Amino acid sequence: MSKLIPVSDLTEDAARAELAQLAEQLTRANTLYHGKDAPEISDAEYDALKRRNAEIEARFPYLKREDSPSDQVGARPADGFSKVAHAVRMMSLGNAFDDEDVQDFDRSIRKYLGLDGAAPLTFTAEPKIDGLSLSLRYEKGQLVQAATRGDGEVGENVTANARTISDIPHAIDNAPDVLEVRGEVYMSHEDFEKLNARQEEAGDKPFANPRNAAAGSLRQLDAAITRARPLRFFAYAWGELSDPLAETQMGAIDRLRDFKFSTNPLTKLCATTDEMLEHYRNIEAQRASLGYDIDGVVYKVNDLSLQARLGFRSTTPRWAIAHKFPAELAWTRLEGIDIQVGRTGALSPVARLHPVTVGGVVVSNATLHNEDYVAGRDAKGGTIRDGKDIRIGDWVQVYRAGDVIPKIADVDISKRPDGAEPFEFPKTCPECNSDAVREEGDAIRRCTGGVICPAQAVEKLKHFVSRKAFDIEGLGAKQIEMFYDDPDLPIRTPVDIFTLRTRDAKNLNKLANRKGWGAQSAGNLWDAIEEKRRIPFGRLLFALGIRHMGEAASNLIATHYGNWAEFEQAVTAAAGFEGPEWEDLLSVDGVGEVMARALVSAFAQNAERASIDKLVDELDVQEAKRPDTSGSPVAGKTVVFTGTLEKMTRAEAKARAEALGAKVAGSVSKKTDLLVAGPGAGSKAKKATELGIETLDEDGWIQLIGTA
Ligand code: IVH
């Protein structure tokens, strides 16, 4: 275990590089997933990459990328089930990997709430079930709907299947009129073994682990199949409620048990972090004998009014965390090192491994991050793995952090084959032969080919059509690869997608006559493309694949400028990285200098700009929707907080104001609409008075925004 590269040992540069790499890998995985061609990585590996990403972000919050994969939850709903929009978004959990992380969790909550270290603060601690989450909706005590998490906002309607699960009551007594019960569907070890024996007997492929078996069983289109698969359900959370269940987490769990749900018997109330950690070790010791898979322990703030104050980050609650069990390890031989070229030209080494089972999942490739990592160096010239490099033919130790992370933890040089040479990292792009260069301070070597590099162009296009971007049905990663090299109907840049139909018409509608195509599939594709000519501003900006421009940031920028024309005019005017337009861009909350530069540079670059302009000519770009803050008294206003706040911390006040559609600024200017001044307010209050800006004290502010 000690050989594992713990996040705590990562240098800042290595962390930054790894985050960049993870963002690329996860984007790629999303694209492949969307294209419905065989994804390169399993769901578990995907989850594991996301976890590693979150782990690094937790250690280096300031390195969190604007396009961070953490701001995206789960996978899209599969076709075949109807979709269900969750009344309350289904969240995931942040991770803790060691005791220190748990202490930090406690500390950060206290800080947010303004509680000192001695103030009482209790948590529940319970096993984290390794299954899949399900939301059950009861209206007037009747089960009316069951939905998987999906992407957190929209899941799959699996009501018929959920009804076959004996732990799920069809009707409950004395329940609130609207009650959404959330929990985990899982399969016991015993049932899993039996199911796999049946699968093998029937000549069907066995499931890799109980979680896959549970997922495969719940997501059966034929509920009769689900019925034959013994699934179970633990309730541990809730969504929409017409009346609160209780005042505490524990009280709510008790209510769920009264409603005849199974709740986990190892759920315990803990008054200190020591007690939480003790319970963690207690659960870990029982892990093998529980009879079902768990992958950690979840801690939740017990007081529900504190949970409400703490609220959520983009996809995780501040009031809960999952403390994961340590990674599993296995040794195998490194058969080769491939270099993949990403959308932004990053050359990423990928280990091709002799397949090895690591905790129930077969791993045959792993990330090697970058050239320094392969060479046993960190980006600052220090060593990793005691300076041991990785060579083809080496025995390497593979690990999966938490669940399934295909990464290399160590190398056994005593088993190194004779004549094994150090890996020579290519200095040219393996796809287009352009120079691949490493800029000062960058851990990543990048292809300089830009648009001439087919790998970059293809990856950019794949990103363009991916789920969070244009999401064109029937035009996924696989089709992009096919069309990219098509002699008659090439798609080389995004605009080519929207001219495809007219080009095909000039080409005698030959697409329909191709092998594997027909009038119907060609027609479907034209319709799907047509449908996406109307595109929201934020999506378009994200789809362009400009470096550092993630989904969240794209949407922030879209909301800031409202419409495309205004935005385009502003970024063009900001070309010199100075002046009011530049300042205005930097003032957008969540837009940093690096991102702003990348954005302005992209629009200042002739070829890229021409390609964007041509694309936009083909589109109908929708104005950005402002967040729904109807009824909010402070929507669109700029608020400044100063002095001491006594009822909430600054962080909480800021989060609340922003949730209500206000912009929180650090200093008072003519643009300020409202100053909230606590005791001790000084120069800001004075300036506000001079400028005639409305000033409230904390109580006035609370009264204004209400307690909601
Ligand atoms: S609480 C708002 N409790 O872990 C927080 N989640 O990694 C809701 N999970 O999506 C989740 N056991 O599917 C919670 N005891 C437990 C859990 C648990 C398993 C799953 C759940 C969630 C995922 C987050």
Q: Where are the domains of the chain?
A: 7-72+328-415, 83-324, 453-532, 536-622, 638-705
- Please give the Cα distance from 461 to 494 (Å, whole number): 6
- φ, ψ of residue 254 to 5 degrees: the values are -60, -40
Copy the structure tokens of residue 589.
Answer: 């909350």
- Judge whether 441 and 13 are in contact, CB under 8 Å: yes
Of 257, 318, 378, 262, residue with least CA distance to 111: 318
88-110, pLDDT tens digit by residue?
A: 999 999 999 999 999 999 999 99
pLDDT reported for residue 77 = 47
Contacts of 520 (CB under 8 A, 6+ apart): none
- Judge whether 163 and 171 are in contact, CB under 8 Å: no
111-123, pLDDT tens digit by residue?
A: 999 999 999 999 9
Q: What is the CATH number of domain 536-622?
A: 1.10.150.20
Ligand 1: atom nearest CA of 320 is 5
- Judge whether 1 and 31 are in contact, CB under 8 Å: no
The shares of helix, strand and coil residues in the chain, as percent rounded to the nearest 5, are 40, 20, 40
Residues, the chain, total? 708
Of 684, 689, 647, residue with least CA distance to 665: 684
- Please give the Cα distance from 18 to 8 (Å, whole number): 13
Q: Whose CA is nearest to atom 10 of ligand 1?
A: 92
Rounded mean pLDDT of 505-514?
Answer: 90
CATH of 83-324, one of 3.40.50.300, 1.10.287.3510, 3.30.470.30, 3.20.20.70: 3.30.470.30
pLDDT reported for residue 35 = 40
- pLDDT bracket for residue 55 (50, 70, 90): confident
CA 676 to mean position of chain CA atoms: 34
pLDDT reported for residue 707 = 59
| Average pLDDT value for the chain | 89
What amino acid occupies position 579? Answer: G
Of 135, 132, 36, residue with least CA distance to 84: 135
CA atoms within a 13 Å half-sphere pointing along the CA-CB vector of 303: 10
Residue 33 above 60 pLDDT?
Answer: no
Distance 619 CA to ligand 1 centre (A): 40
647-670, pLDDT tens digit by residue?
A: 888 888 888 887 888 888 888 888
- pLDDT bracket for residue 264 (50, 70, 90): very high
Copy the structure tokens of residue 117.
Answer: 């270290």
In sequence order, what are the beta bridge partners of 124? Answer: 269, 300
342-364, pLDDT tens digit by residue?
A: 998 999 999 999 998 886 678 89
pLDDT reported for residue 368 = 92
Distance 93 CA to ligand 1 centre (A): 6
What amino acid occupies position 278? Answer: E
Question: Which of 51, 70, 128 has the most ligand 1 atoms within 8 A of CB, as the residue to mutate?
Answer: 128
- Please give the Cα distance from 410 to 389 (Å, whole number): 10
Beta 694-696 vs 674-677: how paired, if at all? Answer: parallel
Q: What angle do CA 448, 449, 455 make, to 5 degrees?
A: 115
Ligand 1: atom nearest CA of 149 is 10
Rounded mean pLDDT of 6-27?
Answer: 85
pLDDT reported for residue 39 = 56
Which amino acids bring their CB within 6 angstroms of ligand 1?
Answer: 91-93, 126, 128-129, 133, 184, 236-237, 298, 317, 320, 322
pLDDT reported for residue 626 = 64
Q: Whose CA is nearest to atom 12 of ligand 1?
A: 128
Rounded mean pLDDT of 362-381?
Answer: 88
In sequence order, what are the beta bridge partners of 446? Answer: 346, 437
Highest mean pLDDT among 21-25, 307-311, 512-516, 585-589: 307-311
Q: Please confirm, yes or no, whether 478 is among the known catalytic residues.
A: no
73: three-class secondary structure by DSSP = coil
Distance 680 CA to ligand 1 centre (A): 42
Question: Which of 129, 279, 315 has the most ligand 1 atoms within 8 A of CB, as the residue to mutate?
Answer: 129
Question: What Å distances lie between residue 382 and 3, 9, 14, CA to CA?
Answer: 16, 11, 11
pLDDT reported for residue 121 = 97
Active-site entry in 3, 83, 128, 415? 128
Q: Whose CA is nearest to atom 2 of ligand 1?
A: 91
- pLDDT bracket for residue 403 (50, 70, 90): very low
Rounded mean pLDDT of 252-281?
Answer: 98
Contacts of 491 (CB under 8 A, 6+ apart): 461, 480, 483, 484, 497, 500
CA atoms within a 13 Å half-sphere pointing along the CA-CB vector of 275: 13
Radius of gyration, CA atoms only, the chain: 27
pTM of the model: 0.59
Q: At the top level of CATH, which class does the domain 453-532 belong to?
A: mainly alpha
pLDDT reported for residue 402 = 47
pLDDT reported for residue 300 = 98
Ligand 1: atom nearest CA of 312 is 2
pLDDT reported for residue 552 = 84
What amino acid occupies position 171? Answer: A
Rounded mean pLDDT of 253-279?
Answer: 98
DSSP 8-state class, residue 37: S
Least confident residue range of 208-217, 390-399, 622-631 = 622-631
CATH of 7-72+328-415, one of 3.40.50.720, 2.40.50.140, 2.30.110.10, 2.60.260.20: 2.40.50.140
pLDDT reported for residue 3 = 41
Give me the DSSP letters along 41-108. Answer: S-HHHHHHHHHHHHHHHHH-GGG--TT-GGGS-S-PPPTTSPEEE-SSPPP--EEE-SHHHHHHHHHH
In sequence order, what are the beta bridge partners of 235? Answer: 183
- pLDDT bracket for residue 401 (50, 70, 90): low
410-443, pLDDT tens digit by residue?
A: 999 999 999 999 999 999 999 999 999 998 888 8
Distance 654 CA to ligand 1 centre (A): 27
- pLDDT bracket for residue 13 (50, 70, 90): confident
- Please give the Cα distance from 621 to 549 (Å, whole number): 18
- Please give the Cα distance from 210 to 229 (Å, whole number): 11
Question: Which of 89, 136, 153, 236 has the most ligand 1 atoms within 8 A of CB, as the residue to mutate?
Answer: 236
- pLDDT bracket for residue 209 (50, 70, 90): confident
470-484, pLDDT tens digit by residue?
A: 999 999 999 999 999
Q: Whose CA is nearest to atom 22 of ligand 1?
A: 92
Least confident residue range of 39-43, 54-58, 261-265, 562-566 = 39-43
Question: What Å distances lie between residue 484 and 32, 475, 491, 492, 682, CA to CA?
Answer: 16, 12, 5, 6, 62
**% of the chain residues with pLDDT over 70:** 94
pLDDT reported for residue 157 = 95
- How would you classify residue 562: left for phi > 0, otherwise alpha for psi between -120 and 50, otherwise beta? left
- φ, ψ of residue 388 to 5 degrees: the values are -75, 130
143: three-class secondary structure by DSSP = strand
- pLDDT bracket for residue 172 (50, 70, 90): very high
Rounded mean pLDDT of 195-203?
Answer: 91
Distance 575 CA to ligand 1 centre (A): 46
Distance 128 CA to ligand 1 centre (A): 6
- pLDDT bracket for residue 64 (50, 70, 90): confident
Residue 152 above 70 pLDDT?
Answer: yes
Residue 259 above 70 pLDDT?
Answer: yes
User: Same CATH fold, 83-324 and 7-72+328-415?
Assistant: no
Question: Which of 49, 133, 261, 264 has the most ligand 1 atoms within 8 A of CB, as the residue to mutate?
Answer: 133
**% of the chain residues with pLDDT over 90:** 62
Residue 34 above 60 pLDDT?
Answer: no
Rounded mean pLDDT of 323-338?
Answer: 91
Rounded mean pLDDT of 329-353?
Answer: 94
Distance 264 CA to ligand 1 centre (A): 12
CATH architecture of 638-705: 3-Layer(aba) Sandwich (3.40)
